[in-house]
Every structure is written in structure tokens, then in C-alpha cells.
């Protein structure tokens, strides 16, 4: 069985993997999207389905006010003592010298729950991971943030502290066990016990084009740790821009029932038309990946007493690997056409709030998703946006909207979204006279001007009938279209830069961590909460 990468396409970064019996689970970061943490399930490592999003209530996660690309960073999913253990971060501040990052633990008998009330762990740094040692003791490892350092590298090393299950808190001495290599920015720790060694897997180089996976080992849990002689066991930093998988790093390892070993890691796939910078470029400013950081998998060989190596040789990630010796276990594909009769489709999420009833309703008008116009695009408190990941380089999306805006402060429609400063928006609104019009708003994040602009003249819309809205993404280009009363589709008359809806645009990859979404939204900056009703949504990948 051959497995093509990425195995989780679209925004699915920072994978943590665990096998329980015949099933394998991957948890990935969700940042400001709610509910928090995505857990996918597979039986063959090739076919994956969404199994759960555990952080689905206010006591577990409330991200109102969190910045773009704040929220849930790098969860760690493990299994021990008959339970799943999920450690996660809630990043409240992420810019400047300080980071306010709260780390929590919740447990459950299955990934579907019920998940326990969270235990607060610490706030010393992010990428917290729980290690279950052979003697039953449990240890939390995380990178530590040093605000006293200057420059980009405030990553102060990997620290470890014991977690006491009975007392539900960290106890004992905090030890700094590993400071990484000269690549810097050491983070993403996971510990393993094998052949009498403790192996410490880390990520280095930052989550840009110098990202890498580094392993070290020690006979003693607290070190000293010896770095792998080849330094980085996985990296794409020295590949050419034509290499499919870039920015490879932040990994975790799983052992299958037959003893075969695999490593999952994050990566990105820059658009082919933007792969134009030389080998080793630390910042490929024109290399853009709208799908964000995705999850890929590599097969390992791990000889007794040795460091693990990629089975295909070298250190660069492979686009295709040999899977385990298991029968394929296909899963039901996500439907391309969605209605709202049976609830919110599972691929959809919203932003930040644990009170979805303030943002949308599936009961107010049966068969419709009613979105209540809330604050402006980019509000970090109450933003009424419901969306799904863009998971293909080229795709098509359509919806039908029934809305009667009263004035120009009320607008709703179809949006391609990355963050409050990166979006393209086909909106039904009203002109100064209160007549209904269609327009396109765009904020492509061109630094230093990150202002939303109206990029077409308003188009008059007849009557009050529902309007069909559509968008077509072809790599780095996006075009909107519309249709009135089942007539012919009409192009909105502008080509937009979809490559701007990416990690790397504007502020650079180091400041952005999610990926492109396409979805439905309503805004009412008057504060009156005018709603919009959507009765369908379709999405499908198209040949690029």
C-alpha cells in the first residue's frame, strides 16, 4: 500500500499521533477556530476521518479576545491507564517579547468523550507534551519562553517537570534538559523510551522554510542529551523550491502493531507559480501556501541502539511512502453538497466563542443556517463566520443567501478567509439609499496597508429574492460570481490574489499559522444583529 502526502490536507498542523489497538489517532492544532483540537482516526494510516473536536465548552476553551493565530497551539494526545490524555495550550498573547500561554490537561475514556474538566498545568512556554514512563510516573515537557532574550530566538530550551495524577498538578523540580542545536528555536518536544535510552524529539528552526526535526537521547531522563550526529533527521530546508513538501518539522512517532514505525510531521505545499526562490533561502517571501501547514507521514527505520532514520534515505520528506502491511480501510468521503437540515456539517467551525448560539442558529428557520450579523471582519470577540478548510489548490464553492440588509453597515455573504487582515469577501449589502447591492471587499494584507477595500463598484440587486453566490479558486487566483433567481451565473468582474490568503504573505510565515477557509458570514457594525439565512453550501476540488 502506497500513501501519498499530505495525509491531512489543508490546515492541520503540529500533529500528535497515538495508536490504541487497531486504531490510530492524530490530534492537530486549531488555533482560534472552535471547537478546539481536531482528532482524526485511521486504521491504515492512509485513509483518515474526523473523529472529534474535544474542546467544545467554555470550561475547556474560551478564546474570545485571542489574537489571530492565537488559541490552541500544538496539542499532545497520548493513551495510558485506559484513558486518552490531551494536553493543549491556549495562547492569549503571541506578539512581542511576552507570550501568555496557558497549558491544560483533559482526559477521556474515548476520543468522543466525555472529556474531563481541565487541569491547569503551567504557562512557562508552549508545545507541552505528556510522557508516560515505564514506571508509571508522568512527566510534562515543554519549551520555555525567555522574554529577556533579544532577537528572534527567545526559545530557552526544553524543560521537564513531574505530573502527579493524584494531586492533579505539577510537582517537584523544573529542569532544563535540552537547548537544541545552532539552528535555534527549539520547541515541539516528545519523549520516547527505547533500548535503554530516553529519546527526545524536537522541532527547530521556526515554522518557516528552515524548519527541521531534531532528535537527542540520554540514558537518564534529565540528561545530558546527546544530539543525533546528523543533527536534523527530517528537513526540507536544503531542498529546491520544486520539492513538493516544504517547511517540514514538528513531528511525532508511532509504532504499529507489527513493529513498523512512522513519523507524522507538518509541512506546506507552496503554489507552483510561487516556487521561485533559491535553495536554502531562509525566507522565501514569494513562496506562498494558502492551504497552510498540513500533516504528512514518513516511514522510519530504527535499529537497536541507533537513532531513527527515514526509510527512503536522506532527510528530505517524501511525497509518497510505503504504508504498513495492513488492508486498506476506506472512510466515507465528505459530501460536496451540504444542507442544514441535520445540523452543522462536521467540517465546519467558527471563531473563538464557546457560545455559538450568539453567532448562528439551525433552529430559527428550519433547513437554514441563520447567521447573526455581529462585529466587523477581524473582530477577536464576536465574529459571525462559519467556514470549512480549503483543502485543494483549486476548488469551487457555492451557496444561496437570503438577506435584506437595511443599510451599508449590514453585509453578509461568501468569504475566503485567513485572518482579519487576509480575506476576500463577496457581500450582499445596501447602498446609502438602502437599496440592496452586491460588492466585493478585499484585504490582501499588503504591508504596511492592511485596510479592507471595496474592489468593484456595487452591483444593484433586484427585489428581495435569495441570491446564489460562488467562488472559483485556481491556485493563486480567485474569482467570484453570482446568480439571481436561478438565472445565469455572472462574473463579479475582478481577479483576486488567493496566494495572499496564506501563511507566508504580508507579515511572513513566522507570524501566521493557520490556513485558508471558505465559508459563510454576516456582519452588522451597527450592533443591531441583522441576520442572513443560508440554505445550502457546496464545495469541491477542481483540476488545477
Within the chain, what is the greatest distance between any pair of CA atoms?
77
Which residues are registered as beta bridge partners of 16?
Answer: 27
In contact, 293 and 503? CB cutoff 8 Å:
yes
Q: Please tell me which residue in 22, 117, 382, 398 is annotated as part of the active site.
A: 382
CA 313-314-319 angle, to 5 degrees, is 75
- E strands, 373-506, in order: 385-389, 394-402, 410-419, 422-430, 436-443, 453-454, 459-460, 467-474, 477-484, 490-497
d(CA 420, CA 440): 16
**Beta strand 226-235 with 212-218: parallel, antiparallel or unpaired?**
antiparallel
Q: Please report the sign of the dihedral spanned by the C-alpha atoms of residue 276, residue 278, residue 284, residue 289.
A: positive
- For residue 504, which of 243, 207, 155 has the smallest C-alpha distance? 207
Give the Cβ contact number of residue 59 at 10 Å: 12
d(CA 306, CA 229): 10
Q: Residue 261, exposed/middle/buried by CB under 10 A (0-12, 13-18, 19+)?
A: middle
In contact, 508 and 285? CB cutoff 8 Å:
yes
Does the annotation count 273 as an active-site position?
Answer: no
Rg (C-alpha) for the chain, rounded Å, is 23
CA 178-182-184 angle, to 5 degrees, is 70
Q: Residue 330, exposed/middle/buried by CB under 10 A (0-12, 13-18, 19+)?
A: exposed
For 212-222, b where at least 16 C-beta lie within 10 A, e where not — what string? bbbbbbbeebe
Active centre residues (catalytic): 382
Amino acid at each position: 500500500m502506497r500513501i501519498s502526502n499530505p495525509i491531512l490536507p489543508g490546515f492541520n498542523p503540529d500533529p500528535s499521533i497515538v495508536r490504541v489497538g487497531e486504531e490510530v489517532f492524530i490530534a492537530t492544532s486549531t488555533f482560534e477556530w472552535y471547537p478546539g483540537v481536531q482528532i482524526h482516526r485511521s486504521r491504515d494510516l492512509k485513509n483518515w476521518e474526523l473523529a472529534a473536536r474535544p474542546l467544545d465548552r467554555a470550561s475547556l476553551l474560551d478564546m474570545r479576545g485571542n489574537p489571530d493565530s492565537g488559541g490552541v497551539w500544538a496539542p499532545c494526545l497520548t493513551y495510558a491507564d485506559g484513558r486518552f490524555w490531551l494536553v493543549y495550550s491556549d495562547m492569549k498573547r503571541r506578539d512581542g517579547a511576552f507570550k501568555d500561554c496557558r497549558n491544560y490537561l483533559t482526559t477521556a475514556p474515548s476520543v468522543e468523550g466525555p472529556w474531563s474538566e481541565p487541569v491547569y498545568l503551567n504557562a512557562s512556554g508552549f508545545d507541552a507534551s505528556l510522557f508516560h514512563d515505564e514506571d508509571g510516573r508522568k512527566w510534562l515537557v515543554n519549551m520555555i519562553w525567555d522574554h529577556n532574550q533579544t532577537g528572534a530566538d527567545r526559545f530557552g530550551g526544553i524543560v521537564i517537570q513531574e505530573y502527579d495524577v493524584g494531586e492533579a498538578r505539577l510537582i517537584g523540580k523544573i529542569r532544563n534538559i535540552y537547548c537544541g542545536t545552532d539552528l535555534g528555536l527549539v520547541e515541539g518536544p516528545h519523549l520516547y523510551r527505547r533500548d535503554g535510552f530516553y529519546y527526545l524529539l524536537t522541532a527547530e528552526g521556526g515554522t518557516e522554510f528552515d524548519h527541521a526535526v531534531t532528535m537527542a537521547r540520554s540514558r537518564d531522563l534529565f540528561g545530558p542529551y546527546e544530539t543525533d550526529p546528523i543533527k536534523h533527521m527530517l528537513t526540507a530546508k536544503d531542498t529546491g523550491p520544486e520539492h513538493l513538501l516544504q517547511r517540514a518539522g514538528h513531528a511525532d512517532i508511532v509504532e504499529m502493531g507489527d513493529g513498523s514505525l512512522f513519523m507524522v510531521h507538518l509541512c506546506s505545499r507552496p503554489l507552483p507559480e510561487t516556487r521561485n526562490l533559491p535553495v536554502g533561502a531562509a525566507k522565501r517571501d514569494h513562496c506562498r501556501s494558502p492551504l497552510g501547514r498540513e500533516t504528512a507521514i514518513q516511514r522510519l527505520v530504527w535499529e537497536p541502539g541507533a537513532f531513527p532514520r527515514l526509510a527512503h534515505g536522506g532527510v528530505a520528506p517524501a511525497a509518497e511512502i510505503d504504508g504498513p502491511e495492513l488492508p486498506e480501510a476506506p472512510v466515507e468521503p465528505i459530501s460536496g453538497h451540504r444542507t442544514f437540515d441535520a445540523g452543522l456539517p462536521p467540517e465546519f467551525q467558527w471563531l473563538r466563542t464557546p457560545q455559538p448560539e450568539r453567532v448562528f442558529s439551525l433552529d430559527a428557520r428550519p433547513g437554514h443556517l441563520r447567521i447573526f450579523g455581529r462585529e466587523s471582519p477581524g473582530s477577536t470577540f464576536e465574529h459571525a463566520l462559519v467556514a470549512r478548510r480549503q483543502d485543494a489548490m483549486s476548488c469551487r464553492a457555492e451557496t444561496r443567501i437570503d438577506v435584506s440588509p437595511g443599510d451599508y453597515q449590514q453585509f453578509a455573504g461568501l468569504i475566503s478567509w485567513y485572518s482579519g487582515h487576509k480575506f476576500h469577501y463577496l457581500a450582499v449589502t445596501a447602498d446609502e439609499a438602502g437599496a440592496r447591492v452586491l460588492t466585493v471587499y478585499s484585504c490582501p494584507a499588503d504591508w504596511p496597508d492592511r485596510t479592507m477595500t471595496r474592489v468593484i463598484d456595487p452591483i444593484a440587486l433586484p427585489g428581495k429574492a435569495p441570491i446564489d453566490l460562488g467562488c472559483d479558486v485556481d491556485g493563486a487566483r480567485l474569482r467570484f460570481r453570482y446568480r439571481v433567481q436561478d438565472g445565469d451565473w455572472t462574473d463579479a468582474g475582478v481577479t483576486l490574489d488567493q496566494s495572499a490568503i496564506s501563511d507566508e504573505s504580508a507579515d511572513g510565515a513566522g507570524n501566521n499559522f493557520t490556513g485558508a477557509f471558505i465559508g459563510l458570514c454576516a456582519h452588522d457594525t451597527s450592533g443591531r444583529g441583522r441576520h442572513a439565512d443560508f440554505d445550502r453550501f457546496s464545495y469541491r476540488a477542481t483540476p488545477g
